[in-house]
Every structure is written in C-alpha cells, then in structure tokens.
Amino acid sequence: MQSLNSFCTPLRAVWTVNNEPTETLWWPVKESSKNSYKIVLFFIPGNPGLVEYYTRFLEDIYQTTESKLEIYGVSHLGHSVGHHSEIPNKVKKDEPYSLQEQIDHKIACFDELCANKPPNTHYILMGHSMGSYVCAEVLKARQTANIGRLIALFPTLREIALTPNGVAMTRLLSSIPLGLISNAASLASYIPSPIRQAITGLVTGQTEPCVRVTAHQLMNGSVVKNVIHMAVQEMETIKALDHDFYDSHVDKFIIYYSKNDQWAPEDHFEYMKEKFPKAQIHLCPENLPHAFILESGHSQYMAKKVVTWIDEYSE
C-alpha cells in the first residue's frame, strides 16, 4: 500500500465541518522530517477566499521546511465552486455567508484539527490579508489551545475602511448594485473555458496557476456575491484594534507589512510598532504587493520568510 508521501501534494478534499462542505488542501507530514514533535500549520486565505490561489506558496513552504510540518488550508464558505458536495438533509443557503459565520467556521475547523491530533501537537495559525484578522479571532476564541505562533501576512487587522483601497472599495460598492456584479460573473461563466481563461489573463494580467483559479472558480455569480458581501462586512467590522487582546498575545504574532500595500499601508506598520515595540513586526524590504501570491517570485520570497519563522519556532 502506498504511503501518503508517495502522492503528489497537496491532497485536495471537501472537508465537512459543522455540516458545511469546506474546500481543503492538505499536506501530510513528510517521513523525512527531522524534528521530534509535529507542527500543524492552519492557513486562512484573504478575500477572495479560495485556498487554491495559495497552492504554490504553501507547497514551497512544505517542500523547504526542516520541521515536522503538516499543512491545512481551507477556503471561505461560498467562495469556491471548485468542488460540489451534496450533504444529505442539508438546507442550501441562499444568502451570502457573513463575516462572523466565516470566523465561526474557521474556529470549528481548528477544533476539528485539535480533536484528531495528539495532545502534544503544536499549532501555527497563518493568514493573509483579512485571513490574518480571522486567525486572530480563532486565537481569541481558543486561547488555551497549543497555538505557538500566529503569522499575519499583509494583514488587515484594523480600520480597513479607512485605507486607500478600503475607501475606493466602499465608493465602488455604493455605486454599483451587488446583483449587477454577480449577474455579470454568472454570464461570464457561460463562456467556453479556454476563451474565458484567455480573456481573464488579458484583463487581469494573471498567469498560471492563478488565472485558472480566477477564470474557473471565482467567475461565478454565487461566489462573487459571497466575496463582495464579506468585503462589505469587513469594512463595517474590522475597526479599532482590541488592545487588551494584543497586549496579552502579541508575543505569539509575526506581523508582516509592505509599503506597497494599499489595504494594510505603512502607517499600519508604524501604528503597530509604536503600540507593541517588542513584537515581531516587519516591513518588507522588497516592497512586495498585497496580492503577493499572483507572482511566482513574490510567492517564493514569502515562502522562504515563512519557513525561517517556522523552523525557528520548531528548534
């Protein structure tokens, strides 16, 4: 019988959590891992919340780390049509998922992980963009769990509506009806796949594999509706920082900002450095963009950074 390590990674599955089909990417522990104790890296994407965008990034982390690492990455509910899973007796949800429902879902995913791992397992939470905020909410809800690190990449942890992109997004969404946008995405899904992918590449400038995710998973009316609905709720919800929580747990955080980021701009870096001077808060020397995953060089650069932090933790 083949071992898990003989399969190509990641392993793709629909993980049912609280009766919700959850698109999941999984990298099992490699047999060649050096460290004696296992680390589970639980990754939460930004918005759009399709974990497939991060496949190359997470694969690079998995292949280069020396730690005994297992990785789980999950998509946000309603953000993917990559897998279709019918659960008996489940009532289909017509309304988009709220931000709080997404947070509750990730807490439930983390609980499922903990319930099926040995008690000495160490956990690292990692999020990109608003996924970092969701990671912080998971830590806040499970403060007694064995969470040793929280890696926040280009994080929208506070006052997202006041950022340059937040202001622009709010204006755009107030002028264009949600139904019009989702209907346009639905119409685009009827274009033959090769043509749709070619047009998507021309319009967005994306290349493989991200252009495939955009063309074939994001371009769907229901998905777009969920993406935009969550974006609106982010503007309304992610405001003042919970200083008491961060004062108590900031030693677990590694927070990474960039000057070239209009969702988490440089003044957010300066604010966090002032409030938490002893914390691991970094400003990217390469000025990477917020959507670092869309370019292979940027993705590889960030994977190397993350591996350094993971391996330092596992020593």
In this structure, is residue 95 part of a structural domain?
yes
Domain count for the chain, please give it.
1
Please give the Cα distance from 57 to 63 (Å, whole number). 10
Q: Which residue has the higher pLDDT, 196 or 279?
A: 279
Q: Span 23-47, mean pLDDT?
A: 87
Per-residue pLDDT for 188 more than 80?
no
Q: What is the CATH number of the domain that holds 40?
A: 3.40.50.1820
In this structure, is residue 219 part of a structural domain?
no
| Strand order through the sheet with 20-27 | 11-17, 20-27, 69-74, 39-44, 122-128, 147-153, 253-257, 280-283
Under 8 Å between Cβ of 10 and 58:
yes
Per-residue pLDDT for 46 more than 90?
yes
- pLDDT confidence band for 86 (50 / 70 / 90): very low
Q: Span 54-66, mean pLDDT?
A: 97
User: Any idea which of 2-16, 22-36, 177-191, 200-214 has the lowest mean pLDDT?
Assistant: 177-191
Residue 1 is predicted with a pLDDT of: 40
> How far does Cα 61 stand from its chain's mean position?
15
In this structure, is residue 195 part of a structural domain?
no
In this structure, is residue 210 part of a structural domain?
no
Cα atoms in the Cβ-side hemisphere of radius 13 Å centred on 245: 15
In this structure, is residue 10 part of a structural domain?
yes
- Interval 240-273: pLDDT, tens: 999 999 999 999 999 999 999 999 999 999 999 9
pTM for this entry: 0.92
In this structure, is residue 207 part of a structural domain?
no
In this structure, is residue 180 part of a structural domain?
no
- pLDDT confidence band for 36 (50 / 70 / 90): low
Residue 91 is predicted with a pLDDT of: 53
Residue 151 backbone class (left: φ over 0; alpha: ψ -120 to 50; beta: rest): beta
In this structure, is residue 268 part of a structural domain?
yes
Q: Which residue has the higher pLDDT, 184 or 12?
A: 12
User: If you average pLDDT over every residue of the chain, what do you get?
Assistant: 89
Pairing of strands 122-128, 39-44: parallel
Q: Which domain holds residue 126?
A: 4-158+239-314
